[in-house]
A and B are shown apart, each in its own frame.
Chain A
Amino acid sequence: MPGEVRRFNEGKSENRPPEGLARRLAAIIAADIVGYSRLMGMDEEGTHARVTRYRRELIDPTIAEHHGRVVKNTGDGFIAVFDSPVEAVRCSIVIQQSVTGRSASLPAQQQILYRIGVNLGDVIVEPDDVYGDGVNVAARLERMAEPGSVYISGGVYEQIKNKLVCGYKALGDKRVKNITDPVTVYRVLADPSAVKAARQVRGLVAALAIVLVLAVGTGIGAFWLFNRSEMERQGGETARAPVAPPPSASAPPSAAPAAPGTAAAPTPVVAPAPAGAPSLLSEPEMVMLPGGSFAMGSNEDATEKPIHRVSIRPFAIGKYPVTVREWKVCVAANACAAAVLGAGAEDDRPITNVSWADADQYAKWLALTTRKPYRLPSEAEWEYAARGNTESKFWWGATLSLGKANCKGCGDPYDPAQPLKVGQFAPNPFGLYDMGGNVAQWVEDCYHRDFAGAPSDGSAWLAGDCFTHVLKGGSWRNDPSYVRPASRDQYDTAVRYPTHGFRVARSE
């Protein structure tokens, strides 16, 4: 694993002063397993195998993803350093969520739970260890932490409070052994939506809704993680039908977090494993597309000119836009925002109200958890997929036909208030649904006013300030001209809007 981890002090080790004077400011994570001796005493081999697997599959990749480096392995834990306190805390939350989720399928006495402390301090970094008061404070915070939770120092809190969407509970100043000054301690509450919403006057109902969503979502997450490991063992690809029975129905009620603000605590989740139950789907259903070249753009609108030839390599693209159900799995893993889920969000509808940044985050999370190269499609790939080897104005012909897509003026079925469930219309020649209409879909490309200078190799066009990104396909609230494969629009990268969704792509 070290090969994958960015070296903290890369290139400098040879020039380092001999007496360990390579001091630097670092965010330090100290983590250990609760009751490790007890676990080992009970089942030495089983515990060791589980811990090794957690490290290999969950923890080490998460640390690498957040640009951290493990500098020391202790018997029952580890110490890792990060350049950024934001990354350190984010990494800690992901570790706690994923370990808790994975452990949920085990009987209580076999569950592995970590305690994590994060501190920001001046430390001495050696190739295989790290020293200094900063490390000692992190270790003391870890020992104070409740199982499954993350405690941070006041220094870390000051750095991240406006940057990381979390709840923080102040625990006051604590005396730390052998450290002169008391340390201010905060507990990180990984359930920001519930905390924030509860503070808002009109958010009472919304808070309840979010708690419910999280309750279901946590169950899904645990179930999903459990099933994923099952599926990995079987080596099987996941696939799903668009209107599969909601898996949440099989999530046990005991999966609910006790109250807003306590979601970071280890939630006793009993993962269901009934034989013959619908398997929980971790990945969107994908369609493999052949490579080819096509004429991108049109003369219908100035932004679609000039028509230009683009070559596309084979790739896979989502058969449907990402659904609410799929989004909830990411929320349960604490990697996607719960805030975009409204009270009425039904599982088979496309996820909406996502910014480009939200969509990008989902794709990155999916790639990380599945270890497959998921990403957003490029604009060229999206248009190629939408055309399905056709060159006409619409994929079905030169003129609008009613009942082919979900837009304002495209005919029935239509609901002015919300998108339709995915897959309600005939698929295009590539077997893809909702490639135009229903929800406008983010692609990887930064917006450019036309195609002058656009790449011809199918890659995303990322040059420019990238303040806005490209939306393809139009939504149910747009007129039929937006359903055309060549139609393109733009929107601010970090702003959410209720008709915007996305689908994922995967390099092959």
Chain B
Amino acid sequence: MLTRRLLLASAAASALPLRFALATSAPSDAYLYIISPTNGAKVKSPFWCRFGLRNMGVTHAGDAYPNAGHHHLLIDVKEPLDPNEPIPQDKNHLHFGAGQTEARVDLPPGKHTLQLVLGDANHVPFTPMVMSKKITITVLPH
């Protein structure tokens, strides 16, 4: 499994300066959405966040199959994404480069926003950007 992922990852070019990252096109009917939790939900942490994607496929980071990408979950992100740069990697931008379609999310009590963005082989958003609606959830106190 590990080897397989490495094999796929090796197909991608990169370590280029970020500004040279090339945009990958997505079908216009691609639809990315958060299956659960739903907008306005009150949840206990940790909770499962499930990712929905129509008219495109999920693959590994580094794998440049057409019309396929991998998920990124944006938590409490306010700044807009730069469409020409790899989606940031930090505690607010969670990457799912192994092709995961759900995640166990652990957040402190209070209101949080969740949003999905699909990234290409090099973690760059597609053109047009494939992005879910941003939802707001409340994490209940323990």
Binds B, one of A111-119, A150-158, A315-323, A486-494: A486-494
CB distance B106 to A449 under 8 Å?
yes
Closest 10 CB pairs of A and B: A495-B97, A342-B16, A342-B15, A353-B15, A418-B17, A494-B5, A206-B13, A417-B17, A339-B10, A417-B19
Which residues of chain B are within 8 angstroms of A417 by Cβ–Cβ distance?
A: 17-19
- Residues of chain B from 106 to 126 with CB closer than 8 A to chain A in the complex: 106, 108, 122-123
Q: How far is the CA of A491 from the CA of B98 in the complex (A)?
A: 10
CB distance B10 to A337 under 8 Å?
yes
For the complex with contacts A353-B14, A478-B88, 4 further pairs of A-B residues with Cβ separation under 8 Å are A196-B10, A494-B2, A495-B61, A497-B89
Q: How far is the CA of A494 from the CA of B18 in the complex (A)?
A: 21
Q: For the complex, is B3 an interface residue (Cβ under 8 Å from A)?
A: yes
- Tell me, rounded to whole Å, the shortest Cβ–Cβ distance linking A161 to chain B: 10
Contact among A86, A344, A494 for B20, CB-based, below 8 A? A344
CB distance A352 to B15 under 8 Å?
yes
Q: How far is the CA of A192 from the CA of B86 in the complex (A)?
A: 25
Contact among B7, B11, B14, B90 for A489, CB-based, below 8 A? B90
Size of the B side of the interface (Cβ < 8 Å), in residues, is 36
- A203 and chain B: residue at smallest CB distance: B13
Most buried by B among A203, A341, A342, A467: A342
Which residues of chain A are within 8 angstroms of B123 by Cβ–Cβ distance?
A: 497-498
Which residues of chain B are within 8 angstroms of A200 by Cβ–Cβ distance?
A: 11, 64
CB distance A202 to B22 under 8 Å?
yes
Which residues of chain B are within 8 angstroms of A493 by Cβ–Cβ distance?
A: 2
- B20 and chain A: residue at smallest CB distance: A344
Residue interface mask A457-500, B partner, CB < 8 A = 1:
00000000001000000110111001000000101111111111
Which residues of chain B are within 8 angstroms of A345 by Cβ–Cβ distance?
A: 15
CB distance A496 to B3 under 8 Å?
no
Chain A binding surface, main DSSP class: loop
Q: For the complex, is B142 an interface residue (Cβ under 8 Å from A)?
A: no
Q: How far is the CA of A489 from the CA of B88 in the complex (A)?
A: 13
Contact among A197, A302, A341, A494 for B9, CB-based, below 8 A? A494
Residue interface mask B71-90, A partner, CB < 8 A = 1:
00000000000000010111
- Tell me, rounded to whole Å, the shortest Cβ–Cβ distance linking B92 to chain A: 10
Q: List 7 A-B contacts (CB under 8 A).
A: A196-B11, A337-B10, A339-B13, A353-B15, A492-B61, A494-B98, A495-B97
Which residues of chain B are within 8 angstroms of A496 by Cβ–Cβ distance?
A: 9, 12, 14, 61-62
Q: How far is the CA of A500 from the CA of B88 in the complex (A)?
A: 12
CB distance B108 to A302 under 8 Å?
yes
Q: With A449-B106, A494-B98 known to touch, is A340 a contact of B14 (CB < 8 Å)?
A: yes
- A493 and chain B: residue at smallest CB distance: B2
Which residues of chain A are within 8 angstroms of B14 by Cβ–Cβ distance?
A: 339-340, 342, 353, 496, 498
CB distance A193 to B18 under 8 Å?
no
Q: How far is the CA of A487 from the CA of B83 in the complex (A)?
A: 28
- Tell me, rounded to whole Å, the shortest Cβ–Cβ distance linking B109 to chain A: 12
Q: For the complex, is A258 an interface residue (Cβ under 8 Å from B)?
A: no
Q: How far is the CA of A448 from the CA of B101 in the complex (A)?
A: 21
- Tell me, rounded to whole Å, the shortest Cβ–Cβ distance linking A241 to chain B: 23
Which residues of chain B are within 8 angstroms of A164 by Cβ–Cβ distance?
A: 3
CB distance B95 to A355 under 8 Å?
no
Which residues of chain A are within 8 angstroms of B60 by Cβ–Cβ distance?
A: 495
Q: For the complex, is B54 an interface residue (Cβ under 8 Å from A)?
A: no
- B46 and chain A: residue at smallest CB distance: A449
Chain B binding surface, main DSSP class: loop
Q: How far is the CA of A479 from the CA of B66 in the complex (A)?
A: 33
- Residues of chain A from 336 to 363 with CB closer than 8 A to chain B in the complex: 337, 339-345, 351-353, 355, 357
- Residues of chain B from 12 to 55 with CB closer than 8 A to chain A in the complex: 12-20, 22
Contact among B4, B10, B62 for A193, CB-based, below 8 A? B10
- Tell me, rounded to whole Å, the shortest Cβ–Cβ distance linking A270 to chain B: 29
Which residues of chain A are within 8 angstroms of B91 by Cβ–Cβ distance?
A: 489
CB distance A491 to B10 under 8 Å?
no
Contact among A197, A352, A475, A489 for B13, CB-based, below 8 A? A197
CB distance B7 to A162 under 8 Å?
yes
Contact among B5, B7, B11, B95 for A491, CB-based, below 8 A? B95
- A340 and chain B: residue at smallest CB distance: B15
Q: For the complex, is A165 an interface residue (Cβ under 8 Å from B)?
A: yes
Which residues of chain A are within 8 angstroms of B16 by Cβ–Cβ distance?
A: 342-344
Q: For the complex, is B6 an interface residue (Cβ under 8 Å from A)?
A: yes
CB distance B88 to A165 under 8 Å?
no
CB distance B3 to A163 under 8 Å?
yes
Q: How far is the CA of A247 from the CA of B17 in the complex (A)?
A: 22
Q: With A302-B108, A478-B90 known to touch, is A492 a contact of B18 (CB < 8 Å)?
A: no
Residue interface mask B94-108, A partner, CB < 8 A = 1:
011110000000101
- Tell me, rounded to whole Å, the shortest Cβ–Cβ distance linking A117 to chain B: 23
Q: How far is the CA of A303 from the CA of B73 in the complex (A)?
A: 19
Q: With A163-B7, A165-B6, A165-B7 known to touch, is A497 a contact of B95 (CB < 8 Å)?
A: yes
Q: How far is the CA of A418 from the CA of B16 in the complex (A)?
A: 8
Q: How far is the CA of A164 from the CA of B3 in the complex (A)?
A: 8
Which residues of chain B are within 8 angstroms of A494 by Cβ–Cβ distance?
A: 2, 5-6, 9, 98
- A482 and chain B: residue at smallest CB distance: B90
- Tell me, rounded to whole Å, the shortest Cβ–Cβ distance linking A419 to chain B: 9
- Tell me, rounded to whole Å, the shortest Cβ–Cβ distance linking A343 to chain B: 6
Q: How far is the CA of A43 from the CA of B71 in the complex (A)?
A: 62
- A337 and chain B: residue at smallest CB distance: B10
Contact among A165, A475, A497, A498 for B10, CB-based, below 8 A? A165
- Residues of chain A from 196 to 211 with CB closer than 8 A to chain B in the complex: 196-197, 200, 202-203, 206
- B4 and chain A: residue at smallest CB distance: A162
Most buried by A among B11, B60, B61, B64: B11
Which residues of chain A are within 8 angstroms of B106 by Cβ–Cβ distance?
A: 449
Which residues of chain A are within 8 angstroms of B88 by Cβ–Cβ distance?
A: 477-478
CB distance B11 to A357 under 8 Å?
no
